[in-house]
């Protein structure tokens, strides 16, 4: 059966050469820039001394030095995920049902860590709890945030926004009548929360949790900066490549990173369906003002405020670090950190590369989404999965994979700007594809059919009809790709030559060298860039009158 | 309209506003035990809001709700003893049919065996025997509706509140289901408030109707009260088709109990027994399709003879609806035996007779 439809698809495809060519081109792109690097890593891990062998794997599992990195990464993800999920749920519950005057504030607090480069939290925690940290200094106690506590704290705070947005989506799409029905049947608020609200959110919560787990395992910046020497997979892989050029073992580390990520991503995408819980029954009524009972509300608000204060302290510390000579030692205000010209070049590089990656990635992704949804394509599922896997694959794996795949002819790209841009695209194209697909579900097929009925050919219809309708998906994913490009570290750290430094790498190095002031000032620049791009997104969506964020 | 304090559910002076918008304005109503009362009114009139106030989901600005002799204003919704069926049913999607129905009993910590027994009884009652283990998304609309009903009945509520429960069903199912609800209500002696904007639905199942318009109760009465003797123009127009003819009272004959009214379609004579009318008063006559008959013989000795032209005819099988133009008025006449006289053609001139038993609307105050 399946081969039959693939064959008919192929025949239909050939009738429209432009589309056929585009698909072939995109498919090649996906194969070369996503599949090929991953396969290279896999391949490298299976070689030792030029011959096929499992010796490297044997070495990995026999020496504690190696396999403890895997264990630590799993433990870290195992601790961070429930914590992040719990806090995100509390925030989401308060934002959707808490006191009206607090909802805006809490919503902003929950989302604001998203605008920072991922390891900025570590930077702030170093300032607070490092060797020269503010906390041991001011409170005169033995206190260090290096190690488990620092990494967990940094990761939790950084992953809350993504988790919050996903859980908030689920909570707000619940039929409000269900709470009322439960209370009409005698259930108190607590009982309703436990017996009705929570079980219905569970699929959505699980999806968010799986994503957090994947991201935690793949995280490079935080464990590197504040891990205090504890071995984690992404960090050790980096050291193996940069320090010892042991690409075989590094590849094994990558496989260890890859397997859990891909498994969980498959579960996340294909095994959990949350729709059946949301769409049963007629259209939900309007949500009446809900008053959460104090017994539930007060502890929740306490948790939210404690977390918010932590976030505010982090930002305050970064600002403090940027504007004081040496935070913790010399608190005279200065603008010195902002005027290092080298740093401006670095920012410019990041802006250029991120812009290229964003524009190309969003365009290709949107076109791909359209083709996957609306055109007969053989092996549609495989293509979609390949484009989405770029998102699930840890940056470290992409970085090392790109080194392995593109360090020799015919595609010698190492050391060029192109390889940096391509690595960014391969990681963010999934967002454009998913956003495009989601948007296309909302656009009825008959709109495009009408355009064909009126004589428009494929390309014309696509440009004049579909693209404008899909604009919000396109533009939203473009901004996401831009922000990602500006803030990403784990892949590009393998691919940038010293003469073409990127901002996150510079911050990373500056922090490592103890130049906290400059690290903070650069971080503030990055944050401002992100704010600016989000501001543009907001203005564009206001102008086109459609909601793009959320 | 003042309220009677000995009735089962008493709504006194209910006021509810959303910001500047007043949805319920000094609303008063009384409902007796065991009756099925319909809140009928156009969209936005406040009937659903009123229901939600009774259930406790919406807080009123002011007013008192007394149920079974007890003021329940401050009771939280889960302690009021009201059973609600929502417009979209609000069934718990993650629970099976029997767990939905048994939810309230589980909250009260009834023993498992007893819950199972009660759920079986309720499934039998709503004719869903054997479907207990199904998931909600496996049920049809009508079945979901019945599960919602069974669930609301599970706690033997003092009063059953139905918020447009049939509006998501197709026409045939609606008719079947409303008969079912009426049957259950009568069998169990339940007190029910039924909210709808469908006047045919309201008229067919209610003991009494409350017409609600712009946050107030406009009229309370049985179906015949409301239809034959609407209190004002709005109510007359809301239920069924109506044509208003305004006229001035010329003469009042107290012996034979009729009055003569001069209108723009000529002189009309109507029965006016026991009404407080004055000569020269301007009144409105409420004319329904059943008040109009076709004149077939040549006898011109008829009362209220009007001459008009047919502008449209709609044949629906058992009757023909004729649109007849008389002066500025468009009357609708229903001819129930189309075979007898054949279907008249458009532009045909026709003579019609107005009944002498027409309802009168006087200007208030």
- Write the CATH number for A368: 1.10.3720.10
A 10 A CB-CB count for A451 gives 18
For residue B57, the chain A residues in CB contact (below 8 A) are 180, 183, 288
Number of domains in chain B: 2
Task: Indicate if B43 and B182 belong to the same structural domain.
Answer: yes
Does B2 map to a domain?
A: no
The reply to whether B166 and B312 lie within a common domain is no
C-alpha to C-alpha distance for A172 and A200, rounded to whole angstroms: 12
pLDDT above 60 (res B271): yes
Which residues on A lie below 8 Å from B89 (Cβ)?
281-282
Mean pLDDT of A221-250: 90
User: Tens of pLDDT along B66-125?
Assistant: 998 899 988 888 888 899 999 888 899 888 999 999 998 988 889 999 999 999 999 999
Q: Is A9 helix (H, G, I), strand (E, B) or coil?
A: helix
- Rounded distance between C-alpha atoms, residue A320 and residue A334, angstroms: 10
Contact B155 A191 (CB under 8 A): no
Percent over 70 (pLDDT), chain A: 92
- Coil vs helix vs strand at B3: coil
- Residue B1 counted as domain residue: no
Three-state secondary structure readout of A451-462 = HHHCCCCHHHHH
pLDDT-wise least confident of A405-414, B209-218, B279-288, B344-353: A405-414
Residue indicated by tokens 């002076």 = B13
- What residue numbers bound the domain in which A477 lies? 1-37+335-550
Distance CA A287, CA B57 (A): 10
Q: What is the ipTM of this complex?
A: 0.73
Question: Across the interface, which of B79, B90, B137 has its CB nearest the CB of A276?
Answer: B137
Measured CB to CB, residues of chain A less than 8 Å from chain B are 175, 177-178, 180-188, 191, 195-196, 199-200, 276-278, 280-285, 288
Interface test with B, best of A175, A176, A185, A285 (most B CBs within 10 A): A185
For residue A19, being part of any structural domain is answered with yes
Q: Are residues B225 and B117 in the same domain?
A: yes
Task: Respond yes or no on whether the N-terminal peptide bond of residue A410 is cis (omega within 30° of 0).
Answer: yes
Nearest residue to A153 (alpha-carbon basis) of A123, A179, A187, A178: A123
CA distance A106 to chain B (A): 25
The CA distance from B82 to the nearest CA of chain A, in Å, is 7
Give me the mean pLDDT over the A96-102 stretch: 87
Residue A393: CB partners within 8 Å, gap ≥ 6?
A: A34, A38, A258, A261, A262, A427
Strand B208-213 to B36-40 pairing: parallel
Q: Is B365 on the interface with A (CB under 8 A)?
A: no
- The C-alpha angle with vertex B103 and arms to B134 and B46, in degrees rounded to 5, equals 100
Strands B243-253 and B282-287: antiparallel
Inter-chain residue contact B93 with A277, CB threshold 8 Å: yes
**A117 phi and psi angles, rounded to 5 deg:** -55, 145
- The pLDDT confidence band at residue A6, using thresholds 50, 70 and 90, is low
CATH number at residue B277: 2.40.50.100
Does a structural domain hold residue B211? Answer: yes
pLDDT tens digits for range B51-69: 999 998 888 999 999 998 8
Q: Given CB atoms, is B91 within the 8 Å cutoff of chain A?
A: yes
pLDDT at A454 over 80: no
| Chain B residues with beta carbon closer than 8 angstroms to that of A288 | 52, 57-58
The alpha-helical segments, DSSP class H, found in B32-111 are 47-55, 97-101, 103-107
pLDDT in tens, B289-332: 999 988 876 666 667 888 999 999 998 888 899 999 998 899 99
Do residue A180 and residue B57 have CB atoms under 8 angstroms apart? Answer: yes
Do residues B220 and B298 share a domain? no
pLDDT of amino acid A23:
85
* Nearest residue in A to B104, CA atom: A185
For residue B4, being part of any structural domain is answered with no
* Nearest CB partner across the interface for B57, out of A191, A200, A288: A288
CATH of the domain at B109: 3.40.50.300
Contact call for A280 and B151, based on CB within 8 A: no
If asked whether residues B228 and B275 sit together in one domain, one would say no
- Is the minimum CB–CB distance between B88 and chain A shorter than 8 Å? yes
> Edge-to-edge strand order for the sheet containing B82-85?
B82-85, B159-163, B192-196, B36-40, B208-213, B216-221
Measure A97 CA to nearest chain B CA, in Å. Answer: 15
Interface contact flag, B88 A186, Cβ < 8 Å: no
Please count the structural domains in chain A.
1
Chain B positions touching A187 (Cβ under 8 A) are: 78, 103-104, 107
Q: Tell me whether residues A186 and B104 touch, CB distance under 8 A.
A: yes
């Amino acid at each position: 059966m399946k081969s039959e439809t693939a064959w008919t698809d192929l025949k239909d495809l050939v009738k429209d050469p432009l589309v056929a060519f585009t698909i072939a081109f995109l498919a090649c792109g996906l194969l070369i820039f996503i599949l090929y690097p991953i396969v290279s890593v896999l391949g490298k891990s299976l070689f030792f001394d030029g011959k096929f062998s499992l010796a490297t794997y044997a070495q990995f599992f026999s020496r504690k030095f190696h396999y403890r990195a895997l264990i630590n990464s799993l433990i870290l993800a195992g601790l961070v995920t429930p914590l992040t999920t719990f806090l995100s749920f509390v925030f989401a519950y308060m934002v959707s049902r808490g006191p009206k005057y607090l909802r805006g504030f809490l919503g902003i607090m929950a989302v604001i860590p998203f605008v920072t480069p991922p390891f900025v939290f570590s930077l702030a925690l170093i300032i607070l709890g490092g060797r020269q940290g503010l906390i041991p200094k001011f409170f005169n106690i033995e206190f260090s945030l290096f190690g488990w506590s620092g990494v967990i704290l940094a990761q939790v705070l950084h992953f809350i926004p993504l988790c919050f947005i996903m859980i908030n989506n689920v909570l707000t799409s619940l039929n409000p009548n269900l709470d009322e029905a439960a209370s009409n049947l005698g259930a108190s608020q607590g009982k309703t929360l436990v017996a009705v609200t929570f079980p219905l959110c569970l699929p959505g919560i699980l999806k968010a949790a799986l994503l957090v787990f994947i991201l935690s395992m793949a995280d490079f910046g935080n464990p590197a900066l504040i891990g205090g020497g504890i071995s984690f997979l992404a960090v050790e892989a980096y050291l193996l490549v940069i320090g010892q050029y042991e690409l075989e073992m590094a590849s094994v580390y990558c496989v260890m990173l890859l397997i859990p990520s891909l498994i969980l991503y498959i579960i996340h995408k294909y095994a959990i369906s949350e729709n059946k819980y949301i769409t049963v029954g007629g259209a939900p009524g309007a949500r009446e003002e809900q008053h959460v009972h104090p017994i539930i509300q007060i502890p929740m608000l306490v948790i939210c405020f404690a977390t918010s204060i932590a976030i505010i302290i982090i930002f305050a510390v970064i600002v403090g670090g940027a504007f004081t000579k040496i935070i913790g030692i010399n608190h005279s205000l200065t603008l010195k950190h902002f005027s290092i010209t080298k740093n401006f070049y670095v920012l410019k590089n990041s802006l250029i590369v991120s812009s290229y990656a964003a524009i190309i990635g969003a365009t290709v992704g949107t076109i791909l989404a359209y083709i996957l949804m609306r055109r007969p394509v053989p092996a549609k599922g495989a293509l979609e999965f390949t484009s989405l896997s770029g998102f699930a694959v840890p940056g470290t794996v992409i970085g090392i994979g790109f080194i392995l795949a593109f360090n020799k002819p015919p595609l010698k790209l190492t050391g060029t700007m192109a390889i940096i841009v391509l690595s960014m695209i391969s990681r963010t194209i999934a967002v454009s594809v998913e956003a495009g697909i989601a948007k296309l579900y909302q656009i009825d097929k008959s709109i495009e059919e009408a355009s064909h009925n009126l004589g428009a050919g494929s390309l014309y219809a696509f440009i004049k009809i579909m693209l404008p309708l899909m604009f919000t998906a396109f533009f939203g994913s473009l901004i996401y790709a831009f922000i990602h490009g500006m803030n990403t570290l784990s892949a590009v750290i393998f691919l940038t030559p010293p003469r073409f430094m990127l901002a996150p790498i510079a911050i990373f190095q500056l922090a490592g060298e103890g130049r906290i002031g400059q690290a903070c000032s650069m971080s503030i620049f990055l944050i401002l860039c992100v704010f600016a791009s989000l501001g543009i997104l907001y203005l564009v969506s206001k102008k086109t009158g459609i909601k793009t964020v959320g | 309209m003042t309220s009677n304090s000995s009735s089962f559910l008493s709504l006194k002076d209910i006021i509810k506003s959303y910001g500047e918008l007043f949805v319920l304005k000094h609303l008063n109503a009384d409902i007796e035990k065991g009756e099925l009362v319909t809140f009928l009114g156009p969209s936005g009139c406040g009937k659903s809001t009123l229901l939600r106030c009774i259930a406790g989901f919406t807080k009123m600005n002011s007013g008192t709700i007394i149920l079974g002799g007890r003021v329940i204003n401050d009771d939280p919704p889960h302690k009021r003893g009201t059973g609600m069926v929502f417009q979209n049913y609000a069934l718990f999607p993650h629970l099976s049919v029997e767990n939905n129905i048994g939810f309230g009993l589980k909250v009260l910590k009834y023993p498992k065996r007893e819950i199972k027994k009660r759920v079986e009884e309720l499934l039998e009652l709503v004719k869903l025997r054997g479907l207990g283990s199904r998931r909600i998304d496996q049920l049809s609309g009508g079945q979901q509706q019945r599960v919602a009903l069974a669930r609301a009945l599970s706690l033997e509520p003092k009063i059953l509140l139905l918020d447009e429960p049939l509006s998501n069903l197709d026409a045939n199912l609606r008719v079947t289901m409303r008969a079912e609800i009426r049957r259950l209500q009568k069998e169990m002696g339940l007190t029910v408030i039924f909210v709808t904007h469908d006047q045919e639905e309201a008229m067919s199942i209610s003991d009494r109707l409350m017409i609600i318009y712009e946050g107030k109760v406009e009229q309370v009465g049985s179906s015949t009260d409301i239809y034959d003797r609407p209190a004002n123009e709005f109510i007359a127009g809301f239920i069924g088709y109506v044509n208003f003819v305004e006229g001035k009272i010329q003469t009042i004959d107290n012996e034979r109990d009729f009055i003569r009214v001069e209108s723009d379609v000529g002189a009309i004579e109507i029965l006016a027994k026991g009404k407080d009318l004055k000569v020269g008063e301007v009144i409105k006559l409420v004319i329904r399709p059943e008040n109009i008959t076709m004149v077939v013989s040549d006898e011109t000795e008829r009362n209220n003879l009007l001459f008009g032209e047919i502008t449209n005819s709609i044949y629906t099988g058992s009757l023909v609806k004729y649109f007849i133009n008389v002066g500025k008025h468009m009357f609708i006449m229903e001819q129930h035996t189309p075979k007898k006289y054949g279907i008249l053609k458009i532009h045909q001139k026709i003579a019609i007779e107005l009944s002498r038993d027409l309802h009168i609307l006087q200007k208030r105050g």
